[in-house]
Every structure is written in structure tokens, then in C-alpha cells.
Amino acid sequence: MNPSSSTTAEGVLPAHDAHDAHHDHPSYLVDGTTIKSWLLTVDHKRIALMYLVWILLFFLVGGIFAMAIRIEMLTPGPTIMDAMTYNRTFTLHGMIMIFLFMIPAIPAVFGNFVLPLMLGAKDVAFPRLNLASLYIYLAGAFLALWGMLNGGLDTGWTFYTPYSTHTTTTVAPVLFGAFIIGFSSIATGLNFIVTIHTMRAPGITWFKIPLFGWALYATSCIQVLATPVIGLLLVIVSGEQLFHFGLFDPARGGDPVLFQHLFWFYSHPAVYIMVLPAFGVMSEIVATYSRKNIFGYRAVAYSSLGIAFVGFFVWGHHMFVSGQSTFDAGIFGVLTMLVGIFTAIKVFNWVGTVYKGAVEFRTPFAYFCGFLFFTVFGGMTGIAVATTSLDVHWHDTYFVVAHFHFIMVGATIMAFLAALHYWFPKMFGKTYHEGWGLVSAALIILGFNATFIPQFLLGNYGMPRRYFEYPERFQALNVASTAGSSLLAFGFIIIAIYLTYSLAYGRASGQNPWRSKGYEWLMASPPPTHNFVGPQPTYPEEPHFYVDPKKAEVPDVV
Amino acid sequence: MSSSAHTAVATPGVPRLAQHFASLEVQNHAARLGMWLFLSTEILLFAGLFVCYGCYRYLFPEAFAAASRHLDLTMGTVNTVVLITSSLTAALAVHYAKEGKSNLVALMFGLTIAMACAFLVIKGFEYSHKFEEGALPGPYYRMQAVQLPGVPLYFTIYFLATGLHAFHVIIGMSVLVWLMIKAIRERNFGPNNYTAVELGSMYWHLVDLVWIFLFPLLYLI
Amino acid sequence: MSVANESHQEAQNMEHHGSGRYWLVWAALLVLTLVTVITGRMHIPNFALAVALLIATVKGTLVLLFFMHLIDHKGANRLVMAVSVLFVLMMLAMPMADFATRFRPANPAGSHLSDLPDLNFLEGKTGAHGSTGGAHGAGGHEAPSGGHEAPSPSGH
């Protein structure tokens, strides 16, 4: 089975190849069937699957808490819980979604699975570190969850001082759990950077790395450089809550705004950790389903690096009303505008890719459409709140909540789902029912709009975030938002059902059901344990090198 | 057969080549780059404390200066010399590893570890002296000799920074002990097999590097 | 097997020198330590910090380049260190600029950049209040029990 040959029509493997593959080179899924072979695996693909299981589970937990929030918000007064419980609920929702789901999701699952395939490597650079990162992640996650369920943090996921150092709720286990998860994030990032530097197959020069690889590279740089700062801060605040040294306590000469500087120095780049891999996934998907080379490969690659780099210099836009100086606010505001340019470059390039492409409107592409809409509006509202004078009104209202959910859910989760559907055949060798895929994509996109557009309006009208009670006049929009969230939840449930069904009973997909020219599709689906058989594959062309179907001329290569 | 990251038995003088690497060159390059990345995370970790230091010193210059003069400069200087010398022995360990002299590698690491212990002992004396004086963080501060706004903050940062540093000294020592034992037992470091020594040594140099900045900032205001 | 990456180039850069350079660097570091202690004790007005940081930077660079072989490890390894340092500087600069340029009463009381007194350390009182934090222990985060002078309201 020659991995560098393009596939036959419809991407179905010739019968004898499938037979050989099955006997001589079993897929990674069946190569070793004991529990030990899974729990102690160093195969990046198995590690990715284990991450997937836990990440989906934590997403479910975070999602349940989101529904609890929305149900509570149905009425202006208490609906199903008291104020302290509400504080704990939104803290839990934030903590779980950010640290347990969003930060690892695309890199730890799809990055782990697909990156070595895309680079023609047999594994990541440090496979045992990869396995360790999974267990470190789980250890931190369980500690944090235990803390949440035993006394529960009520500070919000941002645990600002002085409240976080004075609250009597359980701070230390939750923050320490997040600290431990940070090590997992660093390990993953370190692994990917070294993999990309040292393990590319001959022929894959830097500018032939697939764009998902570039996105992961930029993400990994952020993970490695930013996470230690929050790590230290988490430990300091845990210690402060126990010993009250007063590092951020004005009564002892400390400054709470300094806490915020240190906090957001990580947490702003963290949002780029969440979104950059999503952008990378979309670059892959848009090329595949437009059957066209990505428009402006280098621009997209450089813009990933640009986001990662400039993203480190904009953290103060979370602090416009904190007491930070207007001098700092000015600088941060301008730099924030700058970082938006890189995302705009990507959006133009994606649209340029679709333009005059031969679009195949499959489920991942449907998610791309939603993603594009949400990235543009989420991004533009981001620029809006980056304007200091406007943010004075919008800060800590539902406007900001809607903005970041547009990006985190609208962009990143769309990309996560798109990646799940795009690489489902690669990971499991099965297909899912396209109809259900499109239906659930539509439900999610509609449900998402219905949930969060009312929140933009609410925020603009002045409803603060993290408030347990609100004035009557905000109820209608809150009810609308909750209704939308039910639709959203319903969409997720449908996906869970048909994907699980497809795992068991789905049709065999063949090696390359999308006829994609991404590098990872040159290997079997699902791949054998060591990704390929024999010597490393060769890559004469750039990734996603399609020929324009309308004109038979060679399109832009770079 | 489940996948394993290693091939069969290592030949003496040559480390095992993990089967997912294209060549030993690649494996060494990957290990080194990985270690540099890890060291950058350590730098960013200490950076948070340096930021707190920088801001609070800027806010409370007299308090920081007065408190700093109450540290034992002699002990601090001795510690600095000790750590710098331990860095020398660690670098020499790498040098001898490249030349295949595993005995000397073990000796050099032994010296490094001894000096690290000396560092910790001296630090221990400094800490106990502070406890006696009452030069403690935040609400526990009770040193009568210096009563200025911001002094307790100085000692909070002092203990956090030197404490975190000492923690890394201990981690570094453990790594070096492991390497020293490896040198004694396997005796097979050589020009093709010194990456482990190099990486352990690099970590130790980082510990020294952090102290090179901590020393003047804490002791010489 | 040839590889499309920098590993081969890096292996070529790893020449083996004599041990002399390590002893030289060690000597330089000791001399610089002496210099920094001497200049530190002189408490040079206005420039003490700059001098100390300069010497520390030189020492650190020597350790990085020679003990850690950054002078041999070219390429990405150097970039990693350079970028880290740049981010640390940014992380330092912006908060300090914040303190320097913000609304003065928002700065910590008793500091150089504030006009408000620190109630724990009112001038003229030696150790009578606040600083005896040992009695308060972990809960002592409120204003101190002694010395309840009403703070003079800073006029605005």
C-alpha cells in the first residue's frame, strides 16, 4: 500500500490492500487489545483518543452547568438555586470549560492524532511525555473537580484578589488542580514544537507544513511561554488564601491590579491557545471542501505566528476599568486592534479559498460557514470592546460574555465539531450519516445564535454578568437566550447519538473519503500503529495542492 | 505487539535510538531543543516574581533598601560563589562526558551536589536567622529595626523567590544524583552518548542563572 | 537517512573544545561577583540598579553562552531564549508603567507613588502597632488594631 499514491475513485481502498493492511499491519485501534496496552500506550493516536473521551466528558459536565446557569436566569429572582450556589455554578462552568475543555481540546485530541501524520512522522518527539501529559491532565482535573464539589470556589474562573484570598470557599484544591493541568499544557506544547522542528519527513520544508501544523506551532509557543506565569500565580493565590502574606492586599502595601496584570498576562494568550488551533482546523477544512489550494498559504502561516506574538502584548484590555492607568490602557487598546488584523487576514484568505472553488457542502463545511460568521462577528465585537471608551460601558456585562462565547463556542467549538467530523474517518475508518451531520450543524448554529445574540443586547442594555438577580425588564431576552441554549444542547445530543452509532455500525470509509490532498490522508484510515509502513513517505507537492476544476491551469501554489 | 518508544538493547557508548526518531542526531537535537523550551518555562515562572519585585521596589524604594541591608551579605556572596563554582563543575562534567571519562563525570557531579548542599545549608542558616529577627512575610513581620511601609512585602517576595529557587535547587540536585549514579554504574558516556549529562547540566545552570539575578536584586539594593 | 530539518546542522556545530574556557568563564564570573558586591555596597545614587542589572546580565550571558553552550547551539534554541527574555521585559514594563501613570490615590498607600500614608507604619510610631502581626496570625488582614488615627482625607 503505497502511501504516496493518490487514492482511487471515491477513496475506497482496493480490496487486496485492505486485506493486507488488516493482517500484516493492523490499525492502531486493534493493535493490542488489553486495557494495559491502552493505558500505557505511547502511540499518539491512542493518547489522542483517550484525551477525546475525557474532554468530551468534561465538556458534558461544563455544559450541564451552563444549562443550570441558563435555567437559573429564566426568572429575575431565584429560580432553582441560591446566590452562593449560583456563584459556584458559573465558576465551575468557567473553570471546567476553560481549563479542562477548551485549552486541551483541539491540540490534545486532533493535534496529537493528526500532527505526526501530517509531518510524515511515526510519533511525536516525546511519546512518553505525551502519555504523562494525559495523566497529569487527569490528576489536575480530578483535584479541581473534587475541590469544586467540596466547598466549591465562588470567585468566578478569574479568581481576582482580594476576594479570592478572603473567600471561605475551597480555593486551594481548585487552583492547585488548575496548576497541575498547566503542566500538561506545557508538556503538549513542548512536544509539538520539538516534533515540528525535528521530525518532519524529508521534503517537508517549513513552508510545506500543513496550516494546521503552523497553527499548532504558534499555539504551542503560547502554551510554553504563558502557562508558567499563571502556574506561579495559582500557587501564590492558594498560599495567600491560606497564609495571607498580603502580596496583593492593599492593607499590606500590595496592589490587586498587579494580580490582574499577572493573571491576564497568561489568560489573554490563553484565549489564543483556544482559538488558534481552531483557525488551523478551518484552514484544512476550507481547502478540502472547496477543492482548492488555500489562498495565501504564507499569509495564513505568518498570521498564526503574528497572533501568538502580538497576543502577548495586549492583556490590559481586560483591565480597562480596573484602575489601570489610561497610559497603559491606550497602549493595550492600540495593540489589541493590531492583533485583530491577523485574524482578518485569515478570514480574507479563507473566503479567497472558497471563491471559485468547487464546494462540496458536507458537514465540516457547514460548520465552517457557521464558524466564519461567528468569527467575524465575535472578532468585530472584540475590536469593539477593545475600544476603551466603549468598554467602560460594556465591561462585566453580558456584552463581553456574548463576545467571548461567540469566539469560544462559535469559532472554537464549531472547529472542534468540524474536526471531529472531518477526521472521524481518519481516526476510526468509519463514516457517519451526512444528513444527521447537516441537521445537527444547523441546529447548533441556530441554537448558538439564539443563545448569544440576546446576550449582546442584554449587555448593551446594561445587564451585568455573574449577577444572580436582575431587573424584570431583562427577563424576555434571558428567556430567549435560555430557549436558544436548549436548542444548542439538543444539537450536541444528536451529534453524540449518531457519532456513537457510527462508531459501532458506520460504513467503512476507505482511506480518503473526502478525496482530500492533505498530507494526513496519504496514510491508511485508520492508520497502523506506526502510521506508515516502510520508509517515510515522500511529499512532492504542497499540502492541499488541488488543480482548479474550472480552468485547467495551475493555481497559486503559495 | 504494542508500540514501544525504544528499540532493543543499547550498545555501550551509544544511547538507545528511539524508533520514532530518524537518527541519533535527530534524537539529540530533539532532546536539546526540548530542554531549552523547558528552561524557558522556568524563566517565565520566575518572571512573575521578578515582576512583583520590580513593581514593589519601584513603589517602596526605602523599605526595600533598608530591608536588603539587613540580609547577611557575606552569606549571600558565599552562596553566589558556591553556586557559580557548582556551575563550573557541572560544565566540566559535560566536558568529561564528551571525552568518555565517566569517572570524572561522577566526580564533577559529586562536587556539584556537595556545593548545592552547602548552598542549602547556608540558606537554612539565613532563614533561621530571619525567623529569630522576625523578618517574615506580611502579617508575621515583627522586626523592630526596620519599620517602613512596604517592608513586609519585601520579605514576602524574598521568601517566595528564594524558596522557589531552593525548591529548584533540590530538583536539580535530584537530577544530578541520578546522573552521577548513571555515570558510576554504566560508565558509558562518550562523544556519542553525553546528551543526558548535557541536559542535566543545563538545568543546573538555569538554577545558577536565576540566582545570578536574585542575588544583586535582593542583597545589594 | 537525510532529514528535512536542522538536526544535521546542529550536530556539525557541536565541536569539542578544551576545558580551559570553562575555567576562564568561572574566573570572570567570580570577578564580576566581586565587582557587583563592591559597587552594590557603594550605593551609587540613581544608577545602582542599572549597574547591578548590567553586571548580572553580563554574568548571565556568560553562563548561557559558555556553560550552557548557547554559543554552539544555534538557531531555534537561541530564539527560544531571546523570545522568553523579551516577554519577561514586557511583563515587567507594563505594570511598572501602570503604577507610574495611574491615578495617584489608586497606588498602594505609603508608597512613593501615593500621597496617602500607610496606616501600618505611621511615622513617629516605632513598632507599637500593625507590625506585631504575629498575634494576628493568618487572619490578620484587616487594618491593625493599634493606632486608630483617622487618616487625613486626601483632598481631590
Range of the domain at A499: 9-522
- Does residue C125 have a pLDDT over 80? no
A202, exposed or middle or buried, with CB in 10 Å at 0-12, 13-18, 19+? middle
pLDDT of res. A548 = 54
Indicate yes or no: CB of C98 within 8 angstroms of CB of A242.
no
**Rounded mean pLDDT of chain B?**
91
- In a domain? residue B15: no
φ, ψ for residue B60, nearest 5 deg:
-130, 65
CATH number at residue A447: 1.20.210.10
Name the pLDDT band for C131 (thresholds 50, 70, 90).
very low
Which has more pLDDT, A405 or C140?
A405
**CB neighbourhood size of C112 (10 A):** 16
Helix (H), strand (E) at residue B195? helix B195-219
- Residue tagged 485549552 (cell numbers): A103
Q: How many CB pairs under 8 A join B and C?
A: 198
pLDDT of res. A555 = 53
Break chain B down into helix, strand, coil percent, rounded to 5: 75, 0, 25
Helix (H), strand (E) at residue A336? helix A326-354
Q: Which residues of chain B have pLDDT under 70?
A: 1-13
- Contact with chain C for residue A246, Cβ under 8 A: yes
- In a domain? residue A324: yes
- Contact with chain A for residue B40, Cβ under 8 A: yes
pLDDT of res. A497 = 97
DSSP string, A426-494: HHHSB---HHHHHHHHHHHHHHHHHHHHHHHHHHHHTPBTT-S---GGGHHHHHHHHHHHHHHHHHHHH
pLDDT of res. A39 = 94
Cβ–Cβ under 8 Å, residues B176 and B110: no
Distance (Å, whole) CA A132 – CA B17 = 20
Cβ–Cβ under 8 Å, residues C39 and C52: yes
- In a domain? residue A546: no
Cβ–Cβ under 8 Å, residues A7 and A510: yes
Using only C-alpha atoms, what is the Rg of chain A? 23
- Contact with chain B for residue A127, Cβ under 8 A: yes
DSSP state of C63: I
Distance (Å, whole) CA A549 – CA A540 = 21
Cβ–Cβ under 8 Å, residues A543 and A114: no
Range of the domain at B69: 24-219
- In a domain? residue A529: no
* Of A174, A151, A171, residue with least CA distance to A161: A171
Residue type, A519: Y
Indicate yes or no: CB of B3 within 8 angstroms of CB of A258.
no
Name the pLDDT band for C3 (thresholds 50, 70, 90).
low
* Of A170, A165, A129, A141, residue with least CA distance to A61: A141
> In chain B, what residues touch A224 (CB-CB under 8 Å)?
37, 40-41
Cβ–Cβ under 8 Å, residues A341 and A386: no
Distance (Å, whole) CA A320 – CA A322 = 6
What does each C-alpha distance from C106 to A320, B52, C98, C100, C114 come to in angstroms?
14, 17, 11, 11, 8
Distance (Å, whole) CA B27 – CA A279 = 31
Q: Long-range contacts of range B176-182, CB-CB < 8 Å, 24 or more positions apart?
A: B176/B90, B176/B109, B176/B112, B176/B113, B176/B116, B176/B200, B176/B204, B177/B109, B177/B113, B179/B93, B179/B105, B179/B109, B180/B105, B180/B106, B180/B109, B180/B110, B180/B113
Give the mean pLDDT of C118-141.
49
Domain count, chain A: 1
- In a domain? residue B7: no
Name the pLDDT band for C133 (thresholds 50, 70, 90).
very low
- Contact with chain C for residue A204, Cβ under 8 A: yes
- Does residue C152 have a pLDDT over 70? no
pLDDT of res. C5 = 56
Measured at the CA of A241, the angle between CA A239 and CA A246, to 5 degrees, comes to 80
Residue type, B56: Y
Indicate yes or no: CB of B23 within 8 angstroms of CB of C80.
no
Dihedral sign of CA atoms A43, A45, A49, A55 in order: positive
> In chain A, what residues touch B59 (CB-CB under 8 Å)?
253, 255
What residue of B is the nearest CA neighbor of A264?
Answer: B48
CATH number at residue B163: 1.20.120.80
pLDDT of res. B12 = 63
Please report, in tens digits, the pLDDT of each residue of chain A (558 residues total).
Answer: 344 444 333 333 344 444 444 456 889 999 888 999 999 999 999 999 999 999 999 999 999 999 999 999 999 999 999 999 999 999 999 999 999 999 999 999 999 999 999 999 999 999 999 999 999 999 999 999 999 888 889 999 999 999 999 888 888 999 999 999 999 999 999 999 999 999 999 889 999 999 999 999 999 999 999 999 999 999 999 989 889 998 999 888 899 999 999 999 999 999 999 999 999 999 999 999 999 999 999 999 999 999 999 999 999 999 999 999 999 999 999 999 999 999 999 999 999 999 989 999 999 999 999 999 999 999 999 999 999 999 999 999 999 999 999 999 999 999 999 999 999 999 999 999 999 999 999 999 999 999 999 999 999 999 999 999 999 999 999 999 999 999 999 999 999 999 999 999 999 999 999 999 999 999 898 999 999 888 888 888 889 988 754 554 455 555
Cβ–Cβ under 8 Å, residues C95 and B55: yes
**Rounded mean pLDDT of chain C?**
77
Chain centroid, CA A76 distance in Å: 33
pLDDT of res. B21 = 87
Distance (Å, whole) CA B31 – CA B37 = 10
Indicate yes or no: CB of A229 within 8 angstroms of CB of B44.
yes
Task: State the first-to-last Cα distance of chain B, in angstroms, to the nearest integer.
Answer: 62
* Residue A444: half-sphere exposure toward Cβ, Cα within 13 Å: 32
Which of A45, A185, A252, A258 is the best substitution to test chain B (most B C-beta atoms within 10 A)? Answer: A252
Domain count, chain B: 1
